Structure 1
């Protein structure tokens, strides 16, 4: 199967034309690139970020071990704290949706149900970790993005492409690793306040530092807003649907000696958001989460080190006054071994995961035990990664996954990569044991292949990655005719097959004092049985940004664009394409004070990410941060 980088002959939807021409001017269509099916080692900062990542920067998402960016074959993006602050994003989903290969769907405003699609894959197909702690819901499947507090995050790594051979169940579309701040020498406090339209207020405060053998980091945040009418349709309450989000985190490290270190981390969050349940009727989403992790890191010799981790997470969702409760608890144990000798890296890991779901009448547990092995080689311009993993589930038995990736430095500037891999996701406890459940459901399985090409020199970079990810045993909700006689409203079944196929283009280039950067995704997420486009995913989407510094001000503009989507799997109810323009400016007004101003959706574009649900419209925000230098 061929993928060709479209140039003059490609037709582009009107909503994407501003982005398309901007990317073309940056040189993405300088040459036609034909590839067959796999990966590029591509790190793309958010459009607001002027800092290019160093190739020696350490990344963990690709192999679950620290490796220099230059050694990776995987398709990875990095978002640092400066990028997060400049983004002005109200939620984690809004921020990630500006990255290559990522789309977002949301039922209303911040605090409501949010879905993220990596390369078009279902939101439950992304494995999410906070400081190494696995987050998931055994009701809906996937992390509850709306509950993860963006203000407490220091760094994000986004791995696009299946990684089941490294992470086990769920990593069929990719992996997102989220990190909080680690304390460094000295004491570094900060306080940040901000206000916006719709009575939006934001407060963040924290302190981090290190002294002797101890390092620490503490953070608190509070966001709230009156919101807007999220469902402006007949039969729903025409009031504003506001939200409140309160969260905190703590991270503590103790260096016992030169070879042994203990670490502990905790993040907690509480979200309270409104939604309409009829004319004159309102309900509240009450969503709480925590992520707790304990780690022992040991360097037994110059070549051999281990990590022992115990983690615990919770995703609790309830509504009031309508009574509903879903409570997921995950417990994890990991013993990871790394042996480095010259150009060689050997890894071996034992892992156990325990899931529990309470969602009346469900009160069930399950567990997975796994052995994962990996080999890496990097020398003479060649990079090889081989991984294999066996998971044994207490419910359905064993599942094997594997991956092979290869990268070759053609020249110091050009690098080509290729990989193949498999992945799976075990059915959720809700899919198996609810009133719509089928206990005999089989795991969803994926086979992925990618090819990539990357160029980097100075302030300029160019990359293309082509991929094809096919999923079998896809779990979908079917009509009552295919279910047991008692399931009169339908049930879950392994009835579908899906294919996520596409090309991701990304580039950055400096012209004088202006830094340009952007990405464009051309994809075809479809149901293989019906040939129809998968719901709420576009065939074209992308971003383009430009930044400069003038008289002490950092000024930036960004265009986000998406083609049309369908709200249903039957490809009815079209969600129109859209183009959004965002602006931001920041400056240091005193030694310890930084001012930030941002306007999102400058033209007040009316668009939908889910049918009958409104989006915020033009959003204004001004913030002030105090951080002693």
Structure 2
């Protein structure tokens, strides 16, 4: 277990990739705070950027493993690569994390709580990850109670560019990816694909049968300038996932179960800029479809399955009446659909949600930025929900010091399953609501070679939906409270060395008043986590690095009767260029073969080694 530590010790000895990638201008621009590109020091919200260089250096396959080294993030995975994985931000439920891929909401309308399963999401096609921590429903609508995880694929290169990679390692694991992109006149675009397969491990900790996994992902982008002021933007993303998993009806145990997923993500938008860019408009249609089929035995017809889709229309306008003032406003309409078959029954449900919002960003003087906004969502089932948010960023010394403060409200609409399921649905459910408060400071020293950040937060959530054993229905029976501290440190004492660190303390507890649960820690959310990472580029071309992650004790259940012991994971990596276009790389994960669990009864990988080659042109 992790013992309590002083903040000064953490700042001097712990690290994370959260600030390892702040060297390029692109990392000073964020999108999740306001829905438009803006400088990081214009917002008072806590945001981490994981850039393409960091993703490449870490050699990480699972997006979840990258997120796990970010402050405020906790995760759980139910076994082998590809198995169900959830991400919690600042102690919120995993279903209260909003996920975007290339700007499209991908939370699954067919899931019990509209959550996103990170299991099939691998890093092959991903080039940038932005994590916003704290409630922000003014900009993002439903589900942004804990925060937002936004993932983007590669931006088309100027001219022509291509890169590819392939690797092999533990448990007969093979992966490969390739991307091609370019720009010719008014047209830019790119396509990419990745493939992954492994024999895996037993998802049941007590099992002996390996659970294999296959994954294919593809992405495409096309942007066409139709004139000086008008452009067309098309994006697409696809995942096919094929997983052997162990039965979860009762304690996890070896079984022949199979899960298949097809996930389709699409975006089509028009962008218009008028009055020398003082007024810009974006109108887009986005589409998500998740088809999930489950088989008790491979090779047979599916025994049950779910299909969820979400068709959205978005309009966003940005008015810049003065250089230091912006007004962002918009309208959204979405129609989530849910279909189920299996066990002798079928079900099909849908809803309509209409939303309007407005957000103002003002800089009264160069060192102060103020943001405030309001949103109203009208749901065809439960009616309306109005949310507010405000934040500020003040720098007295030209950006070397930034003092941040934010207030954010969040709401989450009941899922279609929770509303309409024939056995446990409750059509009278109200939306979950949250209020989130942040106070933080960022300090840059020695011309940016040292960057420190400290954030304190608290979030109260009411009307949280949970299954009520007394009525066998879902109900608004929970209240939760999360508070804590996040600290990060990034050091670059010499150009060749990058050291990054994070520590987060999260006290997330049940406040429902129910005797069996009130005051108990929320499940699978460790109070403390530390991550330390260092990378060194040697003069002869070799790059070496290591990451150490320590996670404290937690519980697997709401009654705090099933403990999960804390753990420490270490990994090392290296890469070496050959010529100007080829790079060899390799890594060892879980170097000391730690035995641990993120979900009780489910297996985890022991020590595992991988090696590969990258090509770029």
Write the distance in 2 (CA, Å) between the matches of 1:280 and 1:348: 52
Summarize the alignment of residues 422-437 of structure 1 with structure 2, pairs less than 5 Å apart. 422-434=409-421, 435-437=423-425
**Which of 586, 593, 598 is the equivalent residue of 1:604?**
593
**Which of 297, 308, 311 is the equivalent residue of 1:331?**
311
**Which of 324, 328, 341 is the equivalent residue of 1:343?**
324
Write the distance in 2 (CA, Å) between the matches of 1:508 and 1:333: 40
Question: Paired residue for 1:196?
Answer: 169
Q: Given the alignment of the two structures, is residue 84 of structure 1 paired with residue 55 of structure 2, yes or no? A: yes
TM superposition shift of 1:240: 0.3
Cα 1:586/1:27, change in 2 over 3 Å: closer
TM superposition shift of 1:478: 2.1
Question: Paired residue for 1:4?
Answer: none
Question: Paired residue for 1:374?
Answer: 359
CA deviations on 1:69-90 (whole Å, 9 max, x unpaired) are: 2222211111112211222222
Write the distance in 1 (CA, Å) between the matches of 2:122 and 2:14: 37
Contact 1:52 1:459 in 2 (8 A): no
TM superposition shift of 1:45: 4.0
Question: Paired residue for 2:280?
Answer: 305
Summarize the alignment of residues 215-226 of structure 1 with structure 2, pairs less than 5 Å apart. 215-226=188-199
Write the distance in 1 (CA, Å) between the matches of 2:608 and 2:10: 26
Question: Paired residue for 1:466?
Answer: 456
Summarize the alignment of residues 53-68 of structure 1 with structure 2, pairs less than 5 Å apart. 53-54=24-25, 57-68=28-39
Contact 2:160 2:183 in 1 (8 A): yes
Question: Paired residue for 1:41?
Answer: none
Contact 2:589 2:608 in 1 (8 A): yes
CA deviations on 1:140-180 (whole Å, 9 max, x unpaired) are: 32112123342111211111111111111111111111111
What is the DSSP-based 3-state SS (H/G/I as helix, E as strand, rest coil) of the residue aligned with 1:153? coil
What is the DSSP-based 3-state SS (H/G/I as helix, E as strand, rest coil) of the residue aligned with 1:377? strand
TM superposition shift of 1:625: 0.7
Write the distance in 2 (CA, Å) between the matches of 1:247 and 1:546: 30
**Which of 115, 124, 138 is the equivalent residue of 1:151?**
124
Summarize the alignment of residues 42-441 of structure 1 with structure 2, pairs less than 5 Å apart. 45-46=17-18, 49=20, 52-54=23-25, 57-138=28-109, 139-140=111-112, 141-233=114-206, 238-277=208-247, 281-302=255-276, 303-321=278-296, 323-340=303-320, 341-360=322-341, 361-378=346-363, 379-412=365-398, 413-434=400-421, 435-441=423-429
Contact 1:536 1:566 in 2 (8 A): yes
Write the distance in 2 (CA, Å) between the matches of 1:296 and 1:282: 47
Question: Paired residue for 1:587?
Answer: 576
**Which of 443, 464, 468 is the equivalent residue of 2:431?**
443
Question: Paired residue for 1:505?
Answer: 487
Write the distance in 2 (CA, Å) between the matches of 1:318 and 1:133: 23
Summarize the alignment of residues 507-522 of structure 1 with structure 2, pairs less than 5 Å apart. 507-512=489-494, 513-522=496-505
Q: Which moved more, 1:509-518 or 1:284-293?
A: 509-518
TM-score normalised to structure 2 length: 0.92
Contact 1:86 1:596 in 2 (8 A): no
Q: Given the alignment of the two structures, is residue 618 of structure 1 paired with residue 600 of structure 2, yes or no? A: no
Q: Which sections of structure 2, spanning at least 5 residues, go unmatched?
A: 298-302
TM superposition shift of 1:316: 1.8
Contact 1:283 1:321 in 2 (8 A): yes
Cα 1:255/1:275, change in 2 over 3 Å: same
Q: Which moved more, 1:241-250 or 1:360-369?
A: 360-369
Q: Which sections of structure 1, spanning at least 5 residues, go unmatched?
A: 1-11, 29-43, 484-489
TM superposition shift of 1:22: 6.9
Question: Paired residue for 2:547?
Answer: 558
Write the distance in 2 (CA, Å) between the matches of 1:275 and 1:601: 22
Contact 1:194 1:203 in 2 (8 A): yes
Q: Which moved more, 1:405-414 or 1:293-302?
A: 405-414
Contact 1:147 1:289 in 2 (8 A): no
Write the distance in 2 (CA, Å) between the matches of 1:264 and 1:118: 30
Write the distance in 1 (CA, Å) between the matches of 2:389 and 2:268: 29
What is the DSSP-based 3-state SS (H/G/I as helix, E as strand, rest coil) of the residue aligned with 2:119? helix
Question: Paired residue for 2:300?
Answer: none
Contact 1:50 1:515 in 2 (8 A): no
Contact 1:79 1:156 in 2 (8 A): yes
Cα 1:507/1:310, change in 2 over 3 Å: same
Cα 1:27/1:494, change in 2 over 3 Å: closer
Write the distance in 2 (CA, Å) between the matches of 1:625 and 1:515: 22
* Cα RMSD (Å): 1.9
What is the DSSP-based 3-state SS (H/G/I as helix, E as strand, rest coil) of the residue aligned with 2:315? strand
Contact 1:93 1:116 in 2 (8 A): yes
Q: Which moved more, 1:304-313 or 1:77-86?
A: 77-86
Cα 1:281/1:55, change in 2 over 3 Å: closer
